[in-house]
Amino acid sequence: MKALLKKIIPKALILSFHKLEAILANYFYAFPSRKIIVIGVTGTNGKSTTCNLIAKILEESGAKIGLMTTVNFKIADKEWLNDTHMTMQGRFFLQKMLSQMVKAGCKYAVIETSSEGIMQNRHWGIRYDAAVFTNLTPEHIEAHGSFENYKKAKGELFAALAKFPRKKIASQEILKASVVNLDDQHWQYYFNFPADKKYAYAINYVSKLPEARTLKAGDIKLSINGTFFRVGSEDFKINMIGKFNVYNCLAAVCISLHFGLNLNQCKQALAKFSGVSGRMELIKEGQDFTVLVDYAHDAASFEGLFNTLKMFEKNRIIHVFGSAGGVRDHSKRPVLGRLSGKYADITIVTDEDSYEEPTEKILNEIAAGVLETGKVENENLFKIANRREAIKFACQIAKTGDLVLITGKGTEQSIKSGGKITPWDDRMVAREVLKEL
């Protein structure tokens, strides 16, 4: 019914309803974002990890934290997984959470802020004090109509900084801050929005920005046991692998510096962080091969993930993945197929969240890309619609030293297919399958 209404009701009218709902939610909960420091993180990849890193550093400084991401929620000492299948929550949910954070004495609220959430006015009335841009690659194009619209939607987070006056919390004026990734080609668009303080971070960018405090990571050493890098005079060691996590850490450090911490405090806090659930998470049940669950679901995250996997000692890579249906980007399906076909030894295409779209249609579109790389169906390319059966098959054919890679859902707590919502968790299913075998 919801899908049918979306087709027959003009989009402008739907968006107006969303805005009205946001206005009502703000009034109902008495505009809680006016009483707490709000940090928004946007971009295509790395948002959830960056949010959690920010929360970890600020919490280590002694502050109570509120957190809302694709992966998890947190209000002070209470933390739980996000089981809503949404990155940015509905308007009443958002305002209720912010209100509860204020009541719990949280100083900061860290919100993963999505382009679709912005487009649907879920952010309306939230008074952001800091905005972070991680990176931008094509995603959600069908929903936005074009890449340019997608880019501009994320820009609304930065525009929101100047829409409201500075807050005064505990007699302290809160300066507005923007943080951008200089190694992303779209950095300047987000950097140009006004802010009291501007921060930038990079690994490769060489020019200096006199109008911003810039952090650059050097002496990067990647290993299976963690990642090492230097910022200024401080040597960082984190318990996460991959170059992309250096970027996530730099973004978190920029925010932390803005709110009064120093590099040494950031280093100490990051050293204690063990990682985000469902992001490069190893599943161990005594098997003689590796099982890894990750959220990677677009071309850029696939490239980053497979490059990181080069550090693993392994024989074959057996890759299990799908692509979402509905209004998600149909054009990326063969692209993901080509990347899996290129980097994995065996590709198993399965359901992710097909919504109302035929699962077989999605699988065939992905498989078309895999076949372009020379893979042969039923030899090193398999189409198994049932995700549990796909994971089970991958583990059954895995040999000693192989790597079974399961991507696309991470910690998502359900699968939405054929009009049904089924409880789900890739990590739990992988454990169950391994125990069965």
Q: Is the pLDDT of residue 44 over 90?
A: yes
Q: Is the pLDDT of residue 307 over 90?
A: yes
The predicted pLDDT at position 392 comes to: 98
The predicted pLDDT at position 4 comes to: 54
Cα-to-chain-centroid distance, residue 26: 26
Q: Is the pLDDT of residue 11 over 80?
A: no
The predicted pLDDT at position 208 comes to: 80
Task: Say how far apart CA 10 and CA 14 lie, in whole Å.
Answer: 7
Task: Say how far apart CA 35 and CA 357 lie, in whole Å.
Answer: 43
State whether CATH 3.40.50.720 applies to domain 281-436: no
Q: Where are the domains of the chain?
A: 2-271, 281-436
pLDDT tens digits, 330-375 = 889 999 999 999 999 999 999 999 998 999 999 999 999 999 999 9
Query: Which is it for strands 108-112 and 37-42: parallel, antiparallel or unpaired?
Result: parallel
pLDDT tens digits, 132-151 = 999 998 776 667 778 999 99
19 band by pLDDT with thresholds 50, 70 and 90: confident
* Average pLDDT value for the chain: 93
**Beta strands in 83-152, from DSSP E residues, in sequence order:** 108-112, 130-133
Q: Output the six-digit token pair for 66.
A: 């509120």
C-beta separation of 424 from 414 below 8 A: yes
State whether CATH 3.40.1190.10 applies to domain 2-271: yes
Query: DSSP string covering 276-294, please?
Result: -TTSSEEE-SS-SSEEEEE
Decide: pTM greater than 0.85: yes
Region 375-402: what's the mean pLDDT?
98
- Rounded to whole angstroms, the maximal C-alpha distance in the chain is 67
Region 99-122: what's the mean pLDDT?
95
Q: Is the pLDDT of residue 411 over 60?
A: yes
What are the backbone angles phi and psi of residue 53, rounded to the nearest 5°?
Answer: -65, -45
Q: Which residue, chain included where needed, has tokens 């009291």? A: 196
The predicted pLDDT at position 13 comes to: 73
What are the backbone angles phi and psi of residue 142, rounded to the nearest 5°?
Answer: -60, -40
